[in-house]
Structure 1
């Protein structure tokens, strides 16, 4: 019993071990599979911000604004000997500032590249960027920054050795700026933001002077334009002058302000700070010009469309005007944010994704708008035209931005989306230059050959003689003998200003043809399937004999106009018929 119990316990423990072991082994295996992901070594930031050309220029301006010339010298490529001499480093930085104040110009911060690779779209070598220039009476220096590291090291942009060498060799001891010569010492010694107070005062004065002087130049420019351009006093001329007036004023003011402040020797620290404002004003002036030109084009295009009767185009012009203005606002905001220094790449990507989503959601709306633009551009139909679109016939009542409405003969309104309309087959009856006249006449089987000849000649003579039938040779042919009639097919074209007038001419021609048929002694055939209970009217033997005599006379005189008419006879017949006929009502013409 004890042995059995021991055997049971040993088997139980063995089974528990087998059940637990896989979990243990698997957990060991899982644990051993874990690997520690090594993070890439983070490149340390440069405390002076010299990783990009923009950072180098901004750091240098900040250093000289703080009058920390030793730190400013760390933005130069210096020789080991010059680097060890603190006094020489400070002297180079001060000389650089003095040259910039006298006639130097640095590119606005937002225009300088903010990438470690610098600009790659210019003609300079890779790793070299042009960031400004110095131009005085004696020297001209191009200011370059250069990446001093190779591909294995983080970027380090410094003012190039050539630039520093030209700065060191420049003689600035005898030169003073205009402000240094005219401003009192008190305004030069007192400083605001480490810039002499007199410089800030001169900036404000130059703003006022630039505004007034640019206003005077603009007035003179407008006066000259009005004298030289004869159409300047017209509505269109005044609109064009007004559109350009404010943007030109702003451009002139900015240009004068930049030139005056640079020539007077305003501190580069001040000029670099308001350079962003100047560029922003220039962008705003350009956007205002685009805005006003959009209004000008829209206004005069709408007037032209209204005068030509193309009222349907006005709504499209308004829509395009608003869309263009919205695009100007969006582009202006993006441009100004980019100048200020805001990274708009993510915003543009979001706008692109949003634009795709909007385009997918408004696919039908965009399709209808494009359709309306194509309808207005191609003009397959206009308001008031009678046309057929697929199986729908009606008169066009309106052409909108989304749809076009047709008034049918049943006086109902059918609305067709412009996207569908532009892809449909449109048959416009209003644009016809002529109207076809194509009756098929069936004569009785008892009609004699001479009667048929008489009918062919007289009907053709009628078409030649009628003033509303075009000169193109009409076709009157005996086309066949059927089980119930002798068929004659007539084809001619009626000249009329509209469909109603063509109906009037067609009515007159049919009535005259009935007179010819009645005079010939025969009559139109009735369908053989129809049973007539009335007594049949026999053909007139007397008229038949008379027609035979006429045809015989034609033959004897060689005047039978079959199979073709004599051209002389055609000229005699032209316009020989009075239309409207005698006795018809004729409205008096004013």
Structure 2
């Protein structure tokens, strides 16, 4: 019950966590890190704007200006990045921050709040038209602040050298940078890490952010470790016979899952950026934790079901739980992989469609495997033979050791092992030797032709009396009959059943009966017929 409650609670928490997933994906980050301006694109752009004197910073178009600013800011060359900002007509309070500092603050704010889609910006010198803005302005995006929305604008202004026009980030936007800094600045710890750690990044996430979030995760994992140990202690007190599987589920997968969920929901977002959100909303750790938890939970459920089936005396069905559990676990891993790809921004449906092209070939190749799986289910459900039982199949006799998903393993009387495909095994005539409730005793007595009728009659009487006196011989049927003449001599049919299913005990009883019958033959001076080849 405790495990079920924990599972339900974690599902709810994880669902709430997944609802906050951002729109930016790792795929988009990887695409943005690729070179945006190839030589061919620059040549095409030069053809389109050949009437304009090209600017060395590529500020001829809104797209070129924004791309140049972002490239300079990503390398922390904020002196160069400031050349993409329009500082005209700004108040002394704004300019007092310094031009490189203004460029840096704006970049940090954009990095946290606005994913700039460069392809959506105009590549024409005149900018966009029909966007409800003045012809000299283009909109990059809009940010929400406590004092109202702030637009990130690009503006066409005269070049610094005079003459032609270039595009810069509008002074109307630059004037709002102090407000944006107040609204979206890093925490003190994040600010210190940002300024003191090297400027390296992976998947668009800075080194200092990796350090910050790793430290946060470690703290919450330690907290989860303490919580799960308390849960394990309580569960052990409530249920002293708690299985090792259930205890391992709490101490291992549940600990990791709880730590990841706490880190995702309780960690401060003051130091997050769109890139870090995209990477962490890819939910790699969360999916790994959930997958591990579900796989171990399947093991726990399988163990519980096995114990119940054993208590009910249905040990046969226990052998079916292992292959079925393996199939479910494989399905869970595949679903987790597809979910992870979707979170990263890659279309798992496209991958599935691509795999579907070869689906027919795979289905044909897997036809025998499917038949064998169905055969295994049939063997477990109808149970003509069970694991551990002796059976006759075809011309072979052996003990069933395992009924797998593909084949049934049988150990023969010669101690060799035969693997029979389930689809073939289930279609055979299976003689279940272990299911017999008693074993027949049918010795072949062929008397010599010289035996008289009186001797035959006396032998019948003596054999019947001998069998009836045996406590482990069934009363019915129990017969000794003179069935007729055969080429070798006179045929006496003996049929009775020994009340045992233990074959070793049966052999011992047969031996005693055979010795008694032999003494009767000697007593009555009756000879057995010689073999045919003599």
Using CA pairs under 8 Å that are at least 6 residues apart, name the structure with larger relative contact order, 1 or 2: 2
- Highest CA radius of gyration, 1 or 2? 1
TM-score (norm 1): 0.44
TM-score (norm 2): 0.48
